């Protein structure tokens, strides 16, 4: 089964989300640059990491490092809370001290399964995760500040108390991880380019040249690693920008189209209705209601 890159949908500019999944939800092999933490709140969650099947029992925690391939098997009568966050949240360039390991290294070399943590670390981590989940689900004043505070507490706790893993990485698995990380770095450059230039015209030839690939190779590389074509991804990205504008700004449709990167209002209406199922105006009215 092929591996695909997951692009989590975050709310606005907050690169964090938390949600629940039941055990009947099968998640195929995938990877993403965000760190992912799994907290089993009912039953046992069956997960696949590399060529191993692991069981995370009720009350246990497991996390995946940035770029680490994983999947979820059917886990009847179970429920889990999933936390995903981008490490860029922590402004590592300005906050990291010389004696600190990098955030990527922290999650790569730390013991991932709470079975091997101290009792006090388990208790404190559960408390932080529960607070994160509750705060994420409310709309209290200062919500984002609270989430940032809790995430910083979590990272600090891991820096100071998370044990180092004693599991030796298999040679083949290590090579596979390196490959995914190289692909992740290349894709991250592409995504960053889109984030900075989506309001402009972006052709397949331009993005291929920027990436250092021929159009033919770029097309194959992008589809193989994301499961979609670049132009489909670009259209979806622009539609998500349009959704945000429609929900937060009272501007004419022509301005919404321009700000989200569409060449004309006609094209914007067509693509929006095709992807969302309703017109931009109906979407805005629905949000207001």
Q: What would the DSSP string read from start to end of the chain?
A: ---EE-----STT--EEEEEEETT--EEEEE-SSEEEEEEEES-EEEEETTEEEEE-TT-EEEE-TT--EEE---TT-EEEEEEE-GGGG-HHHH--TTSPPHHHHHHHB--BGGGS-HHHHHHHHHHHHHHHHHHH---TTHHHHHHHHHHHHHHHHHHHPPBP-PPPPHHHHHHHHHHHHHHHHHHHHHHHHHHHTTS---HHHHHHHHTS-HHHHHHHHHHHHSS-HHHHHHHHHHHHHHHHHHH----HHHHHHHTT-S-HHHHHHHHHHHHSS-HHHHHHHHH-
Instruction: For residue 194, give its domain range.
Output: 171-227
Residues 140 and 266 grouped into a single domain: no
Rounded average pLDDT over 45-55: 86
Q: What is the pLDDT of residues 129-183, one digit of tens each?
A: 999 999 999 989 999 999 999 999 999 999 999 999 876 555 445 555 556 667 7
Rounded average pLDDT over 42-66: 92
Decide which of 161, 184, 213 is a domain's last residue: 161
Residues 112 and 254 grouped into a single domain: no
Q: What is the pLDDT of residues 170-196, one digit of tens each?
A: 544 555 555 666 777 788 788 889 988
pLDDT, position 130 = 98
Rounded average pLDDT over 46-72: 90
Find out whether 184 and 67 touch, Cβ atoms under 8 Å.
yes
Rounded Cα–Cα distance for residues 15 and 238 (Å): 18
**What CATH number does residue 264 fall under?**
1.10.10.60
Decide which of 161, 180, 213 is a domain's last residue: 161
Residues in the chain: 289
In the Cβ-directed half-sphere of 148, how many Cα atoms lie within 13 Å? 10
Strands 35-42 and 45-49: unpaired
Residues 107 and 241 grouped into a single domain: no
pLDDT, position 6 = 79
DSSP string, 154-183: HHHHHHHHPPBP-PPPPHHHHHHHHHHHHH
Q: Say if 100 falls within a structural domain.
A: yes
User: How many other C-beta atoms lie within 10 A of the C-beta of residue 185?
Assistant: 11
Report which of 5, 8, 79 is spatially closest to residue 46, judged by C-alpha positions.
79
Q: Say if 166 falls within a structural domain.
A: no
Residues 35 and 141 grouped into a single domain: yes
How does residue 3 score in pLDDT terms, banded at 50, 70 and 90? low
Residues 34 and 111 grouped into a single domain: yes
Residues 92 and 203 grouped into a single domain: no
Is it the case that residue 118 has pLDDT exceeding 90? Answer: yes
How does residue 52 score in pLDDT terms, banded at 50, 70 and 90? confident
Decide which of 143, 161, 179 is a domain's last residue: 161
> What contacts 242, CB < 8 A, 6 or more positions away?
256, 257, 259, 260, 262, 268, 272, 280
Q: Say if 80 falls within a structural domain.
A: yes
pLDDT, position 7 = 78
How does residue 43 score in pLDDT terms, banded at 50, 70 and 90? very high
Rounded average pLDDT over 57-85: 92
User: How many other C-beta atoms lie within 10 A of the C-beta of residue 116?
Assistant: 13
Rounded average pLDDT over 241-263: 91
**What CATH number does residue 108 fall under?**
2.60.120.280
Q: Which of 26-30, 170-174, 221-225, 274-278 has the highest mean pLDDT?
A: 274-278
Rounded average pLDDT over 33-46: 95
Residues 219 and 238 grouped into a single domain: no
Find out whether 154 and 125 touch, Cβ atoms under 8 Å.
yes
Is it the case that residue 1 has pLDDT exceeding 50? Answer: no
Percent of the chain residues past pLDDT 90, beyond the cut: 60
pTM over 0.85: no
What is the average pLDDT score of the chain?
A: 89
Q: Give the chain's domain count.
A: 3
């Amino acid at each position: 089964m092929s591996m695909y890159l997951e692009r989590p949908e975050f709310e606005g500019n907050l690169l964090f989300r938390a949600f629940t999944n039941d055990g009947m939800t099968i998640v195929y092999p995938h990877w993403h640059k965000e760190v992912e933490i799994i907290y089993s709140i009912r039953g046992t969650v069956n997960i696949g990491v590399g060529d191993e099947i692991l069981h995370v029992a009720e009350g246990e925690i497991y996390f995946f490092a940035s770029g680490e391939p994983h999947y979820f098997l059917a886990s009847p009568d179970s429920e889990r809370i999933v936390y995903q966050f981008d490490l860029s949240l922590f402004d590592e360039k300005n906050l990291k001290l010389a004696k600190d390991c990098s955030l990527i290294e922290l999650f790569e070399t730390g013991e991932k399964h709470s079975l091997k943590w101290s009792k006090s670390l388990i208790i404190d981590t559960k408390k932080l995760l529960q607070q994160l989940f509750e705060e994420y689900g409310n709309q209290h004043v200062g919500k984002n500040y609270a989430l940032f505070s809790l995430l910083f507490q979590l990272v600090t706790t891991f820096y100071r108390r998370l044990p180092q893993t004693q599991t030796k990485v298999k040679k083949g698995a290590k090579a596979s991880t390196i490959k995914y990380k190289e692909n992740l770095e290349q894709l991250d450059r592409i995504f960053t380019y889109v984030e900075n230039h989506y309001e402009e015209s972006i052709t397949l030839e331009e993005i291929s040249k920027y990436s250092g690939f021929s159009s033919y190779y770029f097309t194959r590389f992008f589809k193989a690693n994301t499961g979609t074509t670049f132009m489909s991804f670009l259209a979806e990205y622009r539609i998500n920008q349009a959704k945000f504008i429609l929900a937060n700004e009272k501007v004419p449709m022509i301005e919404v189209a321009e700000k989200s990167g569409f060449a004309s209002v006609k094209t914007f209406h067509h693509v929006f209705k095709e992807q969302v199922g309703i017109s931009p105006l109906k979407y805005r009215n629905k949000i207001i209601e």
